[in-house]
Amino acid sequence: SSPLLSSPLLSSPLLLPSPPLPSPSLSSPLLSSPLLLSSSSPPPLLSSPLSSSPLLSPPLLSLPLPSPPLSSPLLSSPLLSSGPRTQTGKTAAGQTGKAVKAVKSGNTVTSTRYGKTGNAWSVVVKNRVPRAATSRAERIWPGGVIPYIIGGNFTGSQRAMFKQAMRHWEKLTCVTFIEKTEEESYIVFTYRPCGCCSYVGRRGNGPQAISIGKNCDKFGIVVHELGHVIGFWHEHTRPDRDDHVTIIRDNIQPGQEYNFLKMEPGEVNSLGEAYDFDSIMHYARNTFSRGMFLDTILPSRDENGIRPAIGQRTRLSKGDITQARKLYRCPACGETLQESTGNFSSPGYPNGYPSYTHCVWRVSVTPGEKIVLNFTTMDLYKSSLCWYDYIEVRDGYWRKAPLLGRFCGDQGPEGLVSSESRMWIEFRSSSNWVGKGFTAVYEAICGGEILRDQGQIQSPNYPDDYRPSKECVWRITVAEGYNVGLSFQAFEIERHDSCSYDYLEVRDGPAESSPLIGRFCGNDKPEDVRSTSHTLWMKFVSDGTVNKAGFAANFFKEEDECSKPDNGGCEQRCVNTLGSFKCACDPGYELALDKKSCEAACGGLLSKLNGTISSPGWPKEYPPNKNCVWQVVAPTQYRISMQFEPFELEGNEVCKYDFVEVRSGLSSDSKLHGKYCGTEVPQVITSQYNNMRIEFKSDNTVAKKGFKGHFFSDKDECSKDNGGCQHDCINTVGSYVCQCRHGFILHENKHDCKEAECKHKVHSPSGTLNSPNWPDKYPSRKECTWDINTTPGHRVRLVRYTHTWIQNTHTPGHRVRLVRYTHTWTQSETGTHTPGYRVRLVRYTHTWTQSETGEIHTHLDTEVRLVRYTHTCIQRQTGEIHTHLDTETDW
């Protein structure tokens, strides 16, 4: 059957086929928006509140998965699949694809997909009976336990934030997140084109993705996505939503209207909980709005006439907590304790506990710590085998963990110690006998002996600040014949030059006297550590002052797989890494899909004089996670030019995601000519040497058409003996030319230069003047003139010049010379030759002569204004004004 994808941020609905599954019925209190499932129980849908790009159709994981419907509030376009999912939709970068429209009529859903040509066709799916996601037992995580894996592409701070979000759910509900070990079904924190999206509820049969894409790594957003994993839909799609909010359809972006459809009463079961404006699963007022200040969802006014706020992404609301506890049938009493120390007691203590009571306390401290539990008082009904009233303590996170003991009567056990960082305490009463009950205290202790092949160690209270005055010592022992590998995921310890205050010390062996590997502090993650034996010793120390987030590190048994006779199974090269190994290929090859054999790849060494390179898959979209390096080598004395024609890469101001780098040289640190992305075609790039490096990288999100480039090599005759030119040698394609400096002309032999007559007539509106042989010394006995002719009504201004002036005897350091100027003067004693104009003479200390050529001698800070003069200029002359030292003469 083909369920309708329900999502507040997809640009259109989604239809996907799914395999038939059994279909038991189960109601759910946590679905804030509907999951449409047929009677054959397809997998749950994907839901996302913040994705800026669409959920692309390839599976969310590289593993083979069924094709569940996807629900996402921020996907910019829909997904339609009939069989294997194929990429459709419009990505964040504007990639054009297909839109999907789904219309429900009774038990039939009609889907219409529009191609680029505008043609449309319909698919009708009959006999569809939708139900809420967690109405089915297989959608509930057994025991509320959700195994997880965090992908390796996330930073230490991101990992810490994911764990904080999981601990937030654990603290307020009875859901438990554990690192995956042998579990079949689990979630994977990953990074997919959908941005922020997740399956709703437990999909089963393997991994399911929770994608935390670009700009989605915020605490509230991750809490929201985990809500989908647990079983929540979006609040505004509840059947009763019209009693609480108004959908303003005119303000909704075109193509996003379906995200605001409400579900049928039989599709959502909120378990009697009231509509929750404050839910972390509710959309904001302007989600998918045509404008920032236009509402798409308008909450109704309360009894005080106030519209409630909606769309918070800060914490779980009271309604969220209540629904989650109902959905997973959390005990009425008990709680999750996450502090390093704490206490708890039976209900009503010391006045007696009620009969038929069931309480569960879950103690969860930092990985790498252990829990010590002591019962300070105990007064329970005593029976054989503690059959009626009892306390059970288990060494782990749930009721199936190893039993540490079952206790009743008035004699509590000695201190109980967990083997890891979690402990389960369950209390049940079934008799009418009244006893006081019990009280208990616990404390987290750090350090200890660790006899495992893999695990995690964290500083106390991580990812929150570690406690003051702590000292923790761990001794890690793995199987004989292996080494211990230690890889840090996050590291933030008080900085000091010699790490004297807070520090982590690591030693190669079983004791404090073993060889020191390093003492670490500050914010820089230490390099991976490998011991020389099967033991490793660690000590963490904090003083009583500054406290930081601490550290998180994974340990595991380590071996050199590449030393085996089969070269680790690699066809060409085997590279040993900490905790694993990887195969690599020689230049010009890349790993095949089996990750062991090699095949011809993009990039390589090119020694031709000219040729063409292109991005992988050209002219189709390039694949994700590609790294191609072309090394172009030409003969000595040649230069290489690269000219790109089509050019279309994922754009970013700093070319952070997909880009092309061009360098002069063959190494990755050679001179960089430029880093290019987007759609603007780079200018022709010419190398400084006889080799060039072109590197192309793509990330795992948006893909574009790529690029195609032509390179050609040209001999640089100027690189040897200046091409035989006396002055300047200019290289050209296929040849070269010699040029002479100012004041010289090229000799008939086209290489030498000889002095030229230094007279210049200039008619251009702007230009540059140079003394002969500039920037070298000008020759002696030279007289140069520049005759600059401008349009009447304009004047010549000399700016940004460099010169050494000869001091004038009239005014040292300042001279203005007027030579053969161009103007027509009228005979007037009032200084006016055209009505409305007058002549103004400023900064002068001289009397005009009757010659055609005159000088104006000026000095600083002197201004003389002549409003009546007795000179007559009737001849039209041409000339020039020479100024220096930022002195300007106005006429």
CB atoms within 10 A of CB 241: 22
Given phi > 0 = left and psi -120 to 50 = alpha, else beta, which region is 21?
beta
Whether the predicted pLDDT of 342 surpasses 70: yes
Q: For residue 407, what pLDDT is reported?
A: 96
Amino acid at 218: K
pLDDT tens string 708-760: 999 988 887 787 778 789 888 887 776 788 988 877 888 778 788 877 777 77
For residues 801-821, average pLDDT: 43
Contact 17, 83 (CB under 8 A): yes
On the CB side of 512, how many CA atoms lie within 13 Å of its CA?
A: 5
Q: Which candidate in 138, 225, 426, 443 is catalytic? A: 225
- DSSP E strand stretches across 525-603: 529-530, 535-541, 550-558, 573-577, 580-584, 589-591, 598-600
Q: For residue 112, what pLDDT is reported?
A: 32
228 is in an annotated binding site: yes
DSSP secondary structure of 171-191: HHSS-EEEE-SS-SSEEEEE-
Reading the block at residue 292, the tokens are 């920032």
Chain-wide mean pLDDT for the chain?
76
Is 767 strand, coil or helix? coil
Of 74-78, 334-338, 804-808, the range with the lowest mean pLDDT is 74-78
234 is in an annotated binding site: yes
Fold of 46-267: Collagenase (Catalytic Domain) (3.40.390)
Question: Percent of the chain having pLDDT more than 70?
Answer: 73
CATH tag, 561-598: 2.10.25.10
Contact 840, 887 (CB under 8 A): no
Reading the block at residue 97, the tokens are 């694809």
Q: What are phi and psi for residue 719, nearest 5 degrees?
A: -75, -15
For residues 550-556, average pLDDT: 93
Contact 73, 8 (CB under 8 A): yes
Whether the predicted pLDDT of 523 surpasses 70: yes
Amino acid at 453: D
For residues 18-26, average pLDDT: 33
Distance CA 98, CA 352 (A): 66
- Percent composition of the chain: helix, strand, coil (DSSP 3-state, to 5): 10, 30, 60
Which residue did the predictor score with more confidence, 708 or 836? 708
336-446: CATH architecture = Sandwich (2.60)
Domain ranges within the chain, ordered by starting residue: 46-267, 336-446, 448-558, 561-598, 602-715, 789-891
pLDDT tens string 179-205: 998 899 999 999 988 888 898 899 988
Q: For residue 836, what pLDDT is reported?
A: 55
Residue 182 designated active-site: no
Residue 167's nearest CA partner among 471, 458, 526 is 458
Can you give the pTM of this predicted structure? 0.52
Q: For residue 616, what pLDDT is reported?
A: 82
Distance CA 415, CA 399 (A): 20
Question: Percent of the chain having pLDDT more than 90?
Answer: 40
Q: For residue 835, what pLDDT is reported?
A: 52
Write the DSSP symbol of residue 737. E
**What are the C-alpha distances in Å from 75 to residues 9, 123, 282, 582?**
5, 23, 16, 35
Q: For residue 587, what pLDDT is reported?
A: 62
Cβ-based neighbours of 803, under 8 Å, separated by 6 or more:
771, 884
One fold for 336-446 and 602-715: yes
DSSP secondary structure of 10-59: -SS--B-------------S-BSS-----TT-PPPPEE-SS-SS---SS-
Residue 95's nearest CA partner among 620, 660, 682, 617 is 620
Whether the predicted pLDDT of 343 surpasses 70: yes
Q: Is the peptide bond preceding residue 624 cis, with omega within 30 degrees of 0?
A: no
Distance CA 241, CA 227 (A): 20
For residues 210-225, average pLDDT: 93
Whether the predicted pLDDT of 331 surpasses 90: yes
Q: Domain 602-715 class?
A: mainly beta
pLDDT tens string 73-123: 333 333 333 332 322 222 223 322 222 333 333 333 333 333 333 333 333
CATH tag, 448-558: 2.60.120.290
Distance CA 369, CA 404 (A): 18
Of 74-88, 310-324, 422-436, 469-483, the range with the lowest mean pLDDT is 74-88
Whether the predicted pLDDT of 376 surpasses 80: yes
Query: Which residues does residue 422 pair with via DSSP β-bridges, in sequence order?
Result: 364
Q: For residue 534, what pLDDT is reported?
A: 94
